[in-house]
Amino acid sequence: IAADEVNLVNAKNTVDLAYLDLKNLLQLEPMQQIKIVYADVNAFEKLLNEDIPDEQTVINAALATQPGIKKFEYQLESDALAVKIAQGVALPSIGLGGSIGTSYSDAEGFNFIGEPIPPDPYGTQIGNNFYGGVGLNLTIPIFNNGQIILNKQNAQLNYFTTETAQQIAINDLKKAVVQAVTNCRASKASYNAALLSYDAAKKAFEFEQKKFAAGQSNSLNYTIAENNLAQAAITLSEAKYDFIFKRKIIDYYLGIPLNF
């Protein structure tokens, strides 16, 4: 009994330290009270009975939903546009311009003998003084051709760099997905094995209880069976939450909102 009390105190201390680590991870105040909500049994059984999606299904979903991949699509569009702009600057350009105007003056004029001549009416002047012009210009890049070529090459290099980074990100994502699916399958198998081990330990303890009650066993064997059951329960609990965590990683790659 004394040993069990020591183990209980140690277990409580471990829980308190785990809560403190969680608060630090979440950047919460040390004195803030938080409580872990245990997984719903029915929800867990449903999750356990669901088939784990195959790697290709998860990869396809991840490629379509992961922001780290989607950003490259927009970056490539921007880089491709920059290449077209750099190419366009190297081409000759034609400009077309035009202007129209008229004028009016109320000043008097004089004839050749010095007699004043009254100004024409406003409407007459506007019509008589009307003028217009059209201009056409052709620009051919010559002297800055070296800079234009350099800008074009830089734009193309940026595009290829983004394209390479995109492919690296896709490859990394595929590896991560395959690893996640593999880990999830292994975790599910570990849980099933832990469940069998727990059932066996439980039956062994129940049998030992009956033997001990009938006086056919001693306290040492009873304690060993009890400890084996407790350890099997701990292993089963760890396997359970490990599977939940790794299954939720699959949901993340599938684009499914995380909820527990």
Q: Band of the pLDDT at 172, cuts 50, 70, 90?
A: very high
In a domain? residue 128: yes
- At 144, list the tokens: 């800055």
Residue 198, Cβ neighbours under 10 Å: how many? 20
Residue 136, Cβ neighbours under 10 Å: how many? 9
233 and 160 within one domain: yes
Q: Which domain holds residue 27?
A: 1-36
221 and 171 within one domain: yes
Higher pLDDT, 124 or 229: 229
pLDDT at 210: 94
116 and 73 within one domain: no
pLDDT at 38: 67
Please name every residue paired with 101 in a beta bridge, in sequence order, or none if there are none.
131
189 and 106 within one domain: no
- At 229, list the tokens: 């059951």
Query: Mind giving me the DSSP string for the chain?
Result: -HHHHHHHHHHHHHHHHHHHHHHHHTT--TT----PPPPPHHHHHHHHHSPPPPHHHHHHHHHHH-HHHHHHHHHHHHHHHHHHHHHHHTS-EEEEEEEEE-------EE-TTS-EEPPPPHHHHHHHT-EEEEEEEEE---TTHHHHHHHHHHHHHHHHHHHHHHHHHHHHHHHHHHHHHHHHHHHHHHHHHHHHHHHHHHHHHHHHHHHHHTTSS-HHHHHHHHHHHHHHHHHHHHHHHHHHHHHHHHHHHHTPPP--
Q: Band of the pLDDT at 84, cuts 50, 70, 90?
A: confident
In a domain? residue 195: yes
237 and 183 within one domain: yes
pLDDT at 125: 62
Contacts of residue 248, Cβ cutoff 8 Å, sequence gap at least 6: 258, 260
In a domain? residue 259: no
In a domain? residue 88: no
204 and 164 within one domain: yes
pLDDT at 52: 94
160 and 133 within one domain: no
48 and 172 within one domain: yes
Q: Band of the pLDDT at 110, cuts 50, 70, 90?
A: low
Q: Band of the pLDDT at 21, cuts 50, 70, 90?
A: confident
- At 222, list the tokens: 């009873």
226 and 174 within one domain: yes
Contact 208, 221 (CB under 8 A): yes
Q: Does residue 77 carry a pLDDT above 70?
A: yes
Q: Which of 46-55, 125-134, 165-174 has the lowest average pLDDT?
A: 125-134
- Phi first, then psi: give them for residue 95, nearest 5 degrees: -120, 140
In a domain? residue 260: no
In a domain? residue 223: yes
pLDDT at 105: 66
Contact 100, 132 (CB under 8 A): yes
103 and 155 within one domain: no
Q: Band of the pLDDT at 112, cuts 50, 70, 90?
A: low
Nearest Cα to Cα of residue 173 among 73, 254, 79: 254
In a domain? residue 87: no
Q: Does residue 183 carry a pLDDT above 80?
A: yes
Which CATH number do you get for residue 164?
Answer: 1.20.1600.10
Average pLDDT, the chain: 84
131 and 210 within one domain: no
- Phi first, then psi: give them for residue 153, nearest 5 degrees: -65, -40
pLDDT at 2: 64
Tell me how far apart the alpha carbons of residues 156 and 84 are, in angstroms, rounded to a whole number: 9
Q: Does residue 82 carry a pLDDT above 80?
A: yes
Share of the chain above pLDDT 90, in %: 40
pLDDT at 240: 93
Give the pLDDT confidence of 23-39 residue by residue, as tens digits.
887 788 878 888 777 66
Give the pLDDT confidence of 190-239 residue by residue, as tens digits.
999 999 999 999 999 999 999 999 988 898 999 999 999 999 999 999 99
In a domain? residue 86: no
Give the pLDDT confidence of 4-14 residue by residue, as tens digits.
688 778 888 88
Nearest Cα to Cα of residue 73 among 170, 174, 176: 170
Say how many domains are in the chain. Answer: 3
Tell me how far apart the alpha carbons of residues 40 and 48 are, in angstroms, rounded to a whole number: 12
Amino acid identity for residue 78 in this structure: S
71 and 184 within one domain: yes
Tell me how far apart the alpha carbons of residues 247 and 188 are, in angstroms, rounded to a whole number: 9
Q: Does residue 260 carry a pLDDT above 60?
A: no
pLDDT at 193: 97
